[in-house]
Copies of this chain bind each other. A is one copy, B any other.
Amino acid sequence: MSKKIFLTQLKKEGKLFPAEGRHISDDELINLTVKELNRLLKGLTRDEVVKLKQRRRTLKNRGYAANCREKRLSQKEILESEKDKLKNEVDRLQRENDVVKMELSALRSKCQAMDRFATLHDIRVLPPPIIVSSASHENSVIVKTEPLSLTMSDAMSVS
């Protein structure tokens, strides 16, 4: 899109339509206090007063409109940036979620492996063995075991 050059821009800057009998620029007129305006209005015809006041009002409205447009734009930008922020948050959480799920999965494997290992090797909870005979035969001892035994999980009350 090429740059737009509005005739209204020139008009706005007071470079067009020198205005019959205008003695004050748009910029000046718009920035007068009511007091100053009234002073300026002294000695003007009723028609001139009305026209000048109307011009001031229109100029003010022009500013309000510009304001309004800018506000609309900035609110849109705010909305978009909030949306972007949320999108990033979603990504972050999604990634974090993936990581935690992988950790969970890995840990589950480890736990299952431990359970399986314990089962496979029949690791059971036994009361401390009671030495029956202290006379050992090549690394061997005579022990007494209780018939009661539990799996590790049972003993820990762990699922």
A24 interface residue per 8 A CB criterion: no
Contacts of A158 in B (CB 8 A): 110, 113-114
A117 interface residue per 8 A CB criterion: yes
Tell me the minimal C-beta distance from A104 to chain B in angstroms.
Answer: 5
Contacts of A117 in B (CB 8 A): 152, 155-156
A97:B93 contact, CB within 8 angstroms: yes
A152 and B159 CA atoms in complex are apart in Å by 19
Copies in the complex: 2
Contacts of A76 in B (CB 8 A): 76, 79
CB-contacts of A109-151 with B (<8 A): 110-111, 113-114, 117-118, 121, 123, 125, 132, 137-147
A108 interface residue per 8 A CB criterion: yes
Residues of A near any B CB (own CB < 8 A): 72, 76, 79-80, 82-83, 86-87, 89-90, 93-94, 96-97, 100-101, 103-104, 107-108, 110-111, 113-114, 117-118, 121, 123, 125, 132, 137-147, 152, 155-156, 158-159
Contacts of A118 in B (CB 8 A): 123, 152
Nearest residue, chain B, Cβ from A118: B152
Nearest residue, chain B, Cβ from A123: B123
A26 and B107 CA atoms in complex are apart in Å by 75
Contacts of A86 in B (CB 8 A): 83, 86-87, 89-90
Contacts of A100 in B (CB 8 A): 97, 100-101, 104
Nearest residue, chain B, Cβ from A153: B114
Contacts of A110 in B (CB 8 A): 111, 158-159
